[in-house]
Amino acid sequence: MSASGLNTVEKKAAFSLATVFGLRMLGLFMILPVFAIYGPELSGYSPIWLGLAIGAYGLTQALLQIPMGILSDKIGRKPVILGGLVVFAAGSVVAAMSDSIQGVVIGRALQGMGAIASAVLALAADLTREEQRPKVMATIGMFIGLSFTLALVLGPVVTQAYGLSGLFWFTGILTLFAMLMIQFMVPNSVHKAPKGDNVAMISQLSELARNKHLLPLNVGVFVLHMALTACFIFLPLRLVDSGLALSQHWQLYLPTLLGSFFLMVPFMIYGLKKQKEKEMFLASIVLLAVTLVLMAILPSETMLLVLLILAFFVAFNYLEATMPSMLSRIAPAGVKGSAMGIFSSSQFLGAFAGGAVGGWLAEVFNQETVFFAMSALVGLWFVVALGMKRHAKSKSFSFNASFASEEHASEVADKLVNMPGVIEATLVYSEAVAYLKLDDKQADIPQIKALLNP
């Protein structure tokens, strides 16, 4: 099989794991476009509880994602993923059977406790070759984006037909399909990829949390998902106020989301080709901040809301798509799993904070204050992002290595970093592995392999 393409196992792993990830995220996101409208019908309703119900999954997801990834290293990927899906399904049932908003909050928190993201990504790494892994990860990322689009389209349709309870039962059914795919379609892992680049390591988390190059991305994904969640506490109500019935909301979301994808692609291409990634990144943050202010001050008219939602998702999708790629280049060699763990936990914490803070602001002040506050936070992110440095293009590689001693490993590392095309080298003596960040157009990979295995 040519190394330039995915083999049969990799194709099967990419499709099945991406589908499982997508089904789960679809279940989490479908509440966004409808809960602001149906939530007030539940007993115990208040704006704070509304926000908590939307964002509760983020807190438990953030707390358990890294431990679940580490557990998957000890007892296996599939048992952890299946167990997480069982918990997620249980949360869906609890939410579906609840007549109070507090019951829905408990159900959503249970859904978040099925934190399988890191285990799924680690299994994807186990089942793929190093040079093909980016394609598989990109496939998973594409399905996550697709699931968000489908959620905004299907959420109003399913809820209009079957009610809020029916939405959660539908989520539970999707989870059963995901469990069947894990059991019968996902290949069994026969290879363990080097764990440092795929699963978070507790010993690395503290240092990486303080890494000044990663901080703008971790702050950014927190603020981005905080703004998204806070906005969707009230955005559906704005659409209803503009005269657009809930059953018609998908007719707005579908074209604006698809349009935002088409509009952001030229900016991504321009940024990559012209080496203007930082400028385009900062411009997207500004667009997001301005859009949030306009949502607060402009009247709720359908055409205005269409344009604002389009602008919001152009900025959101650009930032959402580029940050993981930037993180993979910036993260030190051999600790990408830990860096991604912090990044993902920041994302989920942002979703929780958006629900909790957005609901509180609306109850104490008003809906407009929510949009102003989110815009201010995005502005602070812009200030932090100004300090981002441009990083050389690179690819991460892991190689088996043979070291006579730790001193020998240190000597080899010194030689490696002085070789052409080697940007960074991390050699782990205890695992007999070398993690390298290379400019593969300059690096002499056969020479590197010879040095690592004399």
394, pLDDT greater than 70: no
Band of pLDDT at residue 209, cut at 50, 70 and 90: confident
Q: Does one domain contain both 399 and 386?
A: no
CATH of the domain at 439: 3.30.70.100
Give the total number of structural domains in the chain: 3
pLDDT of residue 264 exceeding 70: yes
226 and 170 in a single domain? The answer is no
What one-letter code names the amino acid at 132? Q
DSSP label at residue 404? S
216 and 353 belong to one structural domain? yes
Is there a single domain that holds both residue 317 and residue 439?
A: no
Domain stops at, among 173, 194, 215: 194
Range of the domain at 139: 1-194
CA distance 130 to 437: 13
Would the CA dihedral through 237, 241, 245, 249 be positive or negative?
negative
Give the pLDDT score at 191: 44
- Mark whether 342 and 401 lie in a shared domain: no
Same domain? For 170 and 96 the reply is yes
> pTM of the entire structure?
0.83
Are both 330 and 422 inside the same structural domain?
A: no
For residue 193, pLDDT over 50 is answered with no
Indicate whether 295 and 432 sit together in one domain: no
Name which of 364, 259, 266 is nearest 312 in CA terms. Answer: 259
DSSP sequence for 35-59: HHHHGGGSBT--HHHHHHHHHHHHH
* Token pair for 383: 């200030």
pLDDT at 443 over 90: no
Query: Where residue 256 sits, what CATH number does that domain have?
Result: 1.20.1250.20
Any residues with CB less than 8 A from the CB of 255 and at least 6 apart, and which?
none
Within this chain, do residues 325 and 446 fall inside the same structural domain, yes or no? no
**What does the DSSP 8-state code read for residue 276?**
-
- 331 or 190, which is more confident: 331
118 and 227 in one domain?
no
Residues 196 and 426: their CA atoms lie apart, in Å, by 10
Q: Residue 9: what pLDDT?
A: 79
Choose one of 352, 374, 391: the last residue of a domain. 391
Question: pLDDT > 90: what percent of the chain?
Answer: 43
Q: Are residues 209 and 301 in the same domain?
A: yes
Report the C-alpha gap between 142 and 134 in whole angstroms: 12
Strand partners, 437: 396, 424
Band of the pLDDT at 123, cuts 50, 70, 90? confident
